Structure 1
């Protein structure tokens, strides 16, 4: 008999979509996999060299539970530059990726029955971790406002049981970037209603066009005592498999996180820590610039291919590296027997007819959305999206 909490969640929908793509490929089908949230790239030289040097020196011992002091100090300096405010090492915890930072946040902030406001569509892990911690996700729809929540909508969702608001910008899965007015409004709500803000900016390095990323503590500094900033190196340095992230928060929160993490993973991988420290100490920014340039090119190639869609709006793709399609126009059509088509039918058709694997919006709480990653090589992306357009334009 399993614990009751296991009924509250299931495996990640993005992982399931990736597994379905792999199964199809293993069965002999040619598959272009656009499901996974990572960038196909070589290592940054500073990351590679830092890891090799640590291994050469025989580094293999535990570090402090929430990361080496030198790394936390370097991260505090980075946060100080990024936000325009002074951060200290005792306000930073190094974690096994951003997922652990978010899990830690949920576990140290939430009591059973506490509500957490999560704009939808949402990254599937947000509500899952709230449920694991005994809380209750409360979703606020954003589709009608270009996938950016309206402050009044968040305000209407607040109750006496609300404990926190999740702010994820640039957003996964939609690519929406919150404007400063929205972030300030959310911050003021949090202050007025005595709420925590969990600010996930893992895609903050990837902003396109005239949009800009605004760390919430930069534009409304008075919200800092109630804000937890979640970030990682997974996206910005194409380092997903290394599992190295961090949490910045008030000292009391970090102390609680340290105690919690001492009973879960203990310290993050020590070689990954040394690699991240070497990057922070020695990077000249050229790797990041090249990565952003490559993604910008892939985005333009993808948008050009998607512009041929006839019944689906071309996505804005303001931030991150996802195209998020609104396929609601296709779902009005029905099968011959009168059964309504769903976005899952669209995903299945793309995999079987186009050889393209995508993630269904149902994974993100959206019955009419579809996520495509453009972190793959540009030539593969162009082939995949051309096939996708052909199938969707012929949809009946």
Structure 2
């Protein structure tokens, strides 16, 4: 009854984890939800005021398909500042969140059978959208290298059908931050093999300790014409529900994305556009600094609690706002007995025994991983992680 393409993908693994947490809470249980990819925070005053002002002015009409010119100019200035390269408004398309930017990129770049290299563990949407567009995801495992893809492994994965490489740093789900040599190696490979780079920068505002977020076009400027930058204001401004993101790339790609978007969603929400424009024009960086400070504090609280784990390494949590646990040693006795154990069993135990909801690494192509968000209020985070440590340390 359904189109064959629906067999290529299921619903998002992270969305399923959120749904399981909600179902348990609706059943009357006290659940601490560590699944969501969002930060619990109020709005920036500039966002709120910009939205209210637009509403009071009666703004309710279509904008250009890929966003207001004034907003695209402001985003072009932001991307120019972020990357150290010059960008213009005709190289920017505003989208309904980063997912639409990624979807547009896949649909305008990929032909049936084209291969896209995706480091694993990966955000679930990357391979799903490649499959929807008729492409083939090719995974490069990163677990043995601190979740950063070895350039020699990426090079070995390239074939005559390879069309693009996905770069996601800071990484979701692992929090790994790619170093400069890795990014330079990816840029050189893209140039030498005539490949596209799809660079997801959604967590770029959040790096911790001595780590620094580098844009691939900053360290390899010559790859600028072969790079698509995907970003959103969902994380950096805690606006996940507002659905406002953007795609930056060569003008011909943006024109193709505009044509596609004109037949899918048309323009992003006009009130969200005005709110973000107001922030880009009037924001002074204080809100972003507060969010970074909030996450840095939550990270320290979480790492202190997680240091009590006995059979699980303390996560590096270099960037973003996730703790990613490697359950290999925890699950090894079960696996050695011949059982087909995965992180799914651990997730189920945590929900049943501790009232803690987390995301299994199976959603990210990693059967022994577990993702925990520390974007929630610190008191809930500490309580949830203490429950988690108790269950995992007693795991048999």
TM norm. shorter chain > 0.5? yes
What SS is found at the alignment partner of 1:332?
A: helix
Shift of residue 80, structure 1, vs aligned partner:
1.1
For residues 294-323 of structure 1, the C-alpha deviation after alignment (integer angstroms, 9 at most, x for no partner) is 000000000000000000000000000000
- Structure 1, 26-35 or 241-250: larger mean CA deviation: 26-35
SS at match of 1:107: helix
Alignment partner of 1:170 is 2:166: no
What's 1:108 paired with? 108
Query: Cα–Cα, structure 1 residues 338 and 254, in superposed 2: closer, same or farther, change >3 Å?
Result: closer
Distance in 1 (CA, whole Å) between partners of 2:365 and 2:65 is 35
2:66 is the alignment partner of 1:66: yes
Residue 92 (structure 1) aligns with: 92
Query: Offset at 1:84?
Result: 1.2
Q: Structure 2: 5+ residue runs without aligned partners? A: none
The alignment's C-alpha RMSD in Å is 1.1
SS at match of 2:333: coil
- Equivalents in 1 of 2:225, 2:196: separation in Å? 9
Q: C-alpha distance in 1, partners of 2:333/2:239?
A: 41
Q: Which residue of 2 aligns with 1:323?
A: 323
Matched, 1:385 2:373: no
Give yes or no for contact 1:31–1:355 (8 Å, CA) kept in 2.
yes
Taking a change above 3 Å as real, the CA distance of residues 336 and 121 of structure 1, as seen in their structure-2 partners, is closer
Deviations for 1:4-53, whole angstroms, at most 9, x for unmatched residues?
00000000000000000111111111110000100000001100000000
What SS does the aligned partner of 1:81 have? helix
Q: Which runs of 5+ in 1 are unaligned?
A: none
Q: Hey, what does 2:2 align to over in structure 1?
A: 2
**Counterparts of 1:218 and 1:395 in 2: how far apart (Å)?**
45
Report the counterpart of residue 29 of structure 1 in structure 2: 29
What are the superposed Cα offsets for residues 108-146 of structure 1, whole Å, 9 maximum, x if unpaired? 000000000000000000000000000000000000000
**TM-score, with normalisation over the residues of structure 1?**
0.99
In the superposition, relative to structure 1, how do residues 336 and 173 fare at CA in structure 2: closer, same or farther (>3 Å)? closer
The number of residue pairs the alignment matches comes to 396
Change (3 A) 1:336 1:351: farther
Aligned residue in 2 for 1:55: 55
- Report if aligned partners of 1:312, 1:329 keep a CA contact under 8 Å in 2: yes
Aligned to 2:234: 234
Displacement of 1:332: 1.5
Q: What is the match of residue 344 of structure 1? A: 344
Q: Report the equivalent of 1:45.
A: 45
Residue 357 of structure 1 corresponds to 357
